[in-house]
Structure 1
Amino acid sequence: MSSSAALPSPSLTGPPIAALSLNCMLFAVLTIQIYSYEVKFPRDRIALKIFVWLVYIMDLTQIVLLHMFCWDVWVTGLAIQGNAPTPQPDTGAHTMMTAIISAMIQGFFAWRVYVLKRDSLIVRITAATIVLLAFTQCISCVCGVSSYYVAGKKASSVALEIELAVFTQIWMIGAVVCDLLIAVSMTWILISYNRASKVKRTRTLVKSLILRSVETGTVTFAFTMVNLILFWIMPQNYIYMVFDRTLSKLYSNALFLSLNARECGADVSTTNWVSDSTPDTTGSVSLDRSRIRFRSDTDEVIHIARHTVTDTENQFDDCQLSNKETLSSV
């Protein structure tokens, strides 16, 4: 009986299993995505390539740190001393890297929001707010983790725990608000493009992009929100780590999913979008005068021109796609 009573709580030893499994699966997907990215876009700008590879290497480092944490939980017991959470240096390093990765990717999406509708004052303010929130949540996380380790054994005092918890709350709340802003702004911009377009196929494309933006934004927002709630109500166990340790992989996969979707002009969220559709005098659409031109993050301009047409039923012929080099870049 005494030996069973001394066993650590399942709420301490169980969640790391789920966290490690989810991380490994998402990292496998991430590896496939970066391979696909290199195959599809070998001529992307060097700055973007450095950015995506830096994100990938940081995620790989996190996988190593998470295995070290699980070793401390299941083998050495250092992470659950006294049947209570006892974070080790690898835990803090993983947490800081999560904040840094999320801030990098949030900043990237802020740039995309700005590029899509830079002539709008509201969009410029929104993009600046996203960057500010990303920077704030990142700094709060780094300061909180650093303060915890500087405090050492004193970190177990109630007063200091409350003080350090403020940093964590700022980090998580900032991340939640930032994710929400990105999802809402991207959806709003795409909806405005959808309303402005007169071409049926374009509207169908933009609707699919709206759905994709909502899906990815909802997943990251939901995981961050659940992580925040669990950390608030149950800081005495590791249940929140199922979500906390998975966040960076979700952000990274959302980044690569968006980048890879640029193939054949499938993703307008990395583009400058110009539509000059003109209806003819009979009420049908003259597709030789309806063109969509957009510029991707690569140094390519893609022109989509739909030819033939005008009849009263607005039927379309095939669309011709051509890629041309350009000297300008976003």
Structure 2
Amino acid sequence: MRVLITGGGGFLGVKLAKALAKKGEIRGREITHMTQADLFAPEPVKADFEVEGVALDIGDRASVDAAFAAKPDAVFHLAAVVSGQAEAEFDIGLRVNLHGTLNILEAARHAGNQPIVVFTSSVAVYGGEIPDVIDDFTILNPQTSYGAQKAATEMMLTDYSRKGFIDGRGLRLPTVTVRPGKPNAAASSFMSSIFREPLQGESANCPVSEDYPIWFSAPRTVVANLVHAAEPPAEAWGENRCLALPGLTNTVREMVEAMTNVAGSNAAGLITWNPDPFVQKICDGWRAHLKPEKALRLGFHQDKSFEDNIRWFIEDDIRR
């Protein structure tokens, strides 16, 4: 089995590549080759099979077609422009999140081998005049350009699967925290930085109120769910190929308290609380209470507490 990961140089892409390298198979078929693709060729992970890093601009159709020349059997499409940038730079978000994903779907279609396509969507597809608690049948009503781009490509993923071009699986990711590295242009970036930086002895600002609720999941859990997404048979997904992944809901205050329970009180003292109306407005359009019954029925994993997220960040990703 040949595997392609777009966004394969990002933090989730690298963790996913390592998890697949360790697992060594998908649906009982041995992985024989894996490609990590990103804007700049990533350093390939170590595995018992061949792994290559290649440069790929998903907004360029010729580049995408070249990446599909070898007919990958499983595609994990993680590449995207993040929420804050997609809102501030509409054309870039449109090029990457909408047209780039359509390029992936078209290349997968014309490869002719009906590959598994696991696509990372977002809970940003929800918003507006919908119930406070979201279930599997809640309509998509995004209130940001990022959410609209993700929602549009969700529809096409399901249609390409209905037509038999691909075997698609769309995952609406909760906010992934605690992310390693540095802050990015995502409106949700602070949801990692207010824990990551203080745990590393640095200050960080929280731009929203401390009673803001967050639907979140740990990197370990999200990677496990990405791997699992390729496993259930097509018929188990039914007519809608996209779903919300399990997560947990805490307020910012509760998450800071969980960090204090694990790591002591010093870290919390490094958080400042200066509001940012731009970030608050975007975040206010997101929903934080979900009932992902279909995902749980399909065997996807759920976090138990934010304290685990803090422990796993210290074990896996903290800068030492």
- TM-score normalised by the shorter chain: which range applies? under 0.3
Larger strand proportion, structure 1 or 2? 2
After TM superposition, the score normalised by the length of structure 1 is 0.26
Q: Give TM-score, length-normalised by structure 2.
A: 0.27
